[in-house]
Amino acid sequence: MMLAGSVLAILSACGSSAAGGTYPTYRYRLTVEVDTPEGLRTGSSVIEVHTGRAWQYSIPNPGMLWISIRGEAVSVDLGRRGV
């Protein structure tokens, strides 16, 4: 949730000020490292954040910024211990 707030704050300061403006899509790679007795194990996933602005006559919030977040949870293969 904090990521979404940060992206909203950054994007509200730049880009098109007109309703229906175009904003970039960002992709982040999230990597998790787990230190096990057998050694370091890692797993990663990609998260996509797309931001847009509602049309000036849209109901109920004209000109509102919206954020769509897509991605999968990170899984780390721990060998005999599971995933």
What are the tens digits of pLDDT across the range 3-61?
444 444 444 444 444 445 578 899 999 999 999 998 999 999 999 999 888 777 777 77
User: Is 60 exceeded by the pLDDT of residue 63?
Assistant: yes
pLDDT at 21: 58
Cis upstream peptide for 37 (omega within 30°):
no
> What pTM, to 2 d.p., does this model score?
0.52
pLDDT at 81: 86
